[in-house]
Amino acid sequence: METKIFDLATEYEAGMQEAAREISSGGLVVFPTETVYGIGADAMNPAAVAEIFAVKGRPSDNPLIVHICEPGQAGELAREISPMARRVMEAFMPGPFTAVLKCRDCVPACVTAGLDSVGIRMPGAAHARELIRRSGKFIAAPSANLSGKPSPTRVQHVIDDFAGKVPVILNGGEAAVGLESTVCDLTGDIPLVLRPGGVTPEMIRDAAGDVRVARAVLEGLPEGAKAASPGMKYKHYAPRARVVVVDGESAKAIAICVNSMYDREVNKGKNSLIFCTDEHRPLYGGRRTYSLGRDLGEEAHRLFDALRQADKDRTDTIFFEAVEPRGMGLAVMNRIIRAAGFQIVHAAEEG
Ligand code: TXA
Ligand code: MG
């Protein structure tokens, strides 16, 4: 299949027209949002939705998020929106936020994976909303990566995974947030964060008065447990490299521990790499580092690109400095700790 790639900075009209036509006629489009790139299709067309699962190699029991372009459309998909849910949605939609609500019968079972709920998101990126508007459809879209790979934050990532497999890719440059949306169950009395993202639990508490975070976010699922969000049970975000997350009393304690593990790996002939902040780079001497930036926002923004880059460089082991699991740090830790199989090395014990 020939893939047409449009740069939204220079070919906005042509790209939008082609993409909207493709969606409304049952085809697939890769499009940018402020979180990550999505691979979308008409949510009400089961054959088109099936094609998303096929192209990604995604397990059919993992539901898709449905994207809307007007707040009022949530009520066309959800059959129950509590006053609490309404307040939270008003605060964070449009934005990097997905509301899980009881769904109406019109939402196909292949989208919800047979659940009684549906994830609804109104993207903050204006071009994503424009695509939804012009197509005249709700767009079901997971992240535009092959199943098991880090989500795409740059157009090159989606070209690597989907060139020749989808008719249209819209290039919107680098995704601003860089991690997928916060998935939040709003069906109960208290919002429950199933997947942390750009909208933090602290922000949700401010809007709703209270918030809970699913334990699986940092601890993974116990053997045999049922996932509140099916995506939790898959080993996502897994680069080829082994990922070792290290925490400790101080940056220096972490660095001492990382350096000794790094040197052991290198002595075994392993290609090792340290993900760290700009500030901590000097603590690692001449060792191979990849700077994730100056703060948590930059770490979130660069993390998936760094993971993909590490694979391209044939890295065997990635060491990652743990961050405080608060604010955006919770989302960053959730992604990296999943890549590490929920194991953390504590510097005091190891160093
Ligand atoms: O930022 C994002 O959310 C991106 C962009 C493209 O919108 N999309 C995305 O989709 O990350 P995906 O499919 O890669 O991740 C959706 C997550 C999965 O973990 C899935 O299990 C969960 O949301 N999910 C979807 N519908 C759900 C539901 N009804 N109940 C619980 N979890 C749900
Ligand atoms: Mg995904």
ipTM: 0.99
The residues of the chain that CATH labels 3.90.870.10 are: 4-233
Q: At 70, phi and psi to the nearest 5?
A: -135, 140
Maximum Cα–Cα distance for the chain, whole Å? 60
Q: Which two tokens stand for residue 349?
A: 């014990």
CB 67 within 8 A of CB 121: yes
Ligand 1: which atom is nearest the Cα of residue 144? 6
pLDDT of residue 5: 98
- Identify the H or E element spanning 54: helix 46-56
234 has a pLDDT exceeding 70: no
Q: Considering the domain 4-233 in this protein, what is its CATH number?
A: 3.90.870.10
CA distances to 159, 221, 286, 288 from 304, in Å:
15, 23, 24, 18
143 annotated binding-site participant = yes
The residues of the chain that CATH labels 3.40.50.11030 are: 242-350
Q: 44: pLDDT confidence band, cut at 50, 70 and 90?
A: very high
Ligand 1: which atom is nearest the Cα of residue 123? 7
CA distances to 157, 205, 253, 280, 311 from 308, in Å:
8, 33, 28, 22, 5
pLDDT of residue 55: 98
pLDDT of residue 229: 77
Q: 235: pLDDT confidence band, cut at 50, 70 and 90?
A: low
Sign for the pseudo-dihedral over CA of 335, 89, 145, 158: negative
Segment 48-53 shows an average pLDDT of 98
Ligand 1: which atom is nearest the Cα of residue 35? 1
Please state which of the four CATH numbers 3.40.50.360, 3.40.50.300, 3.40.190.10, 3.40.50.11030 is assigned to the domain occupying 242-350. 3.40.50.11030
Segment 280-287 shows an average pLDDT of 96
**Ligand 1 within 6 A of 323 CB?**
no
Sign for the pseudo-dihedral over CA of 167, 7, 44, 49: positive
**Ligand 1 within 6 A of 124 CB?**
no
**Ligand 1 within 6 A of 121 CB?**
yes
151 annotated binding-site participant = yes
The DSSP-derived string for 194-236 is: EE--SS-HHHHHHHHS--EE-THHHH-PPTTPPPSSGGGGS--
Segment 265-275 shows an average pLDDT of 97
**Ligand 1 within 6 A of 109 CB?**
no
Q: Which ligand is nearest to the CA of 217?
A: 1
DSSP state of 154: S
Neighbour count for residue 337 (Cβ, 10 Å): 22
**Ligand 1 within 6 A of 153 CB?**
no
Cis peptide before 94 (omega within 30 of 0): yes
When the pLDDT of each residue in the chain is averaged and rounded to a whole number, the result is 95
Quote the crossing angle between the two packed helices 296-312 and 155-162, to the nearest 10°: 40
Q: How close is the Cα of 275 to the center of ligand 1, in Å?
A: 26
Which residue would you say has higher pLDDT here, 227 or 17?
17
Neighbour count for residue 38 (Cβ, 10 Å): 29
Vertex 45: Cα angle to 39 and 48 (nearest 5): 45
Q: Which two tokens stand for residue 259?
A: 């350096």
